[in-house]
Amino acid sequence: MSGATVIAHPLVQHKLTHMRRKTTPTQDFRRLLREISLLLCYEVTRDLKMTTQTIDTPVAEMEAPVLAGKKLCFASILRAGNGLLEGMLELIPSARVAHIGLYRDPKTLEAVEYYFKAPQELDERLVIVVDPMLATANSAISAVERLKKRGAKNMVFVCLLAAPEGVARFNEAHPDVPIYTAAIDEKLNEKGYIIPGLGDAGDRMYGTK
């Protein structure tokens, strides 16, 4: 499907299959989500800008490659986004972090904001917005709108699963923000859940259902 990059790495797909199983316990679901987040982060950051720095190795001086510019910012859409956030921070512990609290109204399926906290100078950082599911896209669209108002100009959206309807709506609202996902599933059901999906990611992460 156009509008989204599917990261089809064999390890990503293998771990995602285990996460989809309804019999996978909470602790394994969290572990798998953290492991997949490392692999997704690796793919999403492969084109980061580089510069060089003079260093001394044990045997010689050299010009060595280092990341250029301001540190990254991970923007987690609460609460499920924290499952991806934790793994990505293991890979890039120096990154700044934004938290965006949104919940989906069960009747309208619209996103309702209850919390927002982000670092300064977002306009100078790559902002990686994370949420395991891109279903109706209401939460993702609202989160990106909020970050743009705060000054963010260079963003990507990263999720585990996406529905075609969500990809289309997100691309219409934010055509300048690329989507990276491990899979694009069949459709949404009448309750706005991804089919076949993996259920509610937040509930499965924290054992709340």
**Catalytic site residues?**
104, 108, 200, 203
173 is in an annotated binding site: no
163 is in an annotated binding site: no
142 is in an annotated binding site: no
Helix axes 26-44, 81-91, angle to 10 degrees: 60
135 is in an annotated binding site: yes
43, HSE (Cβ side, Cα atoms, 13 Å): 21
176 is in an annotated binding site: no
64 is in an annotated binding site: no
132 is in an annotated binding site: yes
75 is in an annotated binding site: no
Q: Residues at the annotated binding site for 5-phospho-alpha-D-ribose 1-diphosphate?
A: 79, 104, 131-139, 200
Q: Binding site membership: which residues?
A: 79, 104, 131-139, 194, 199-201
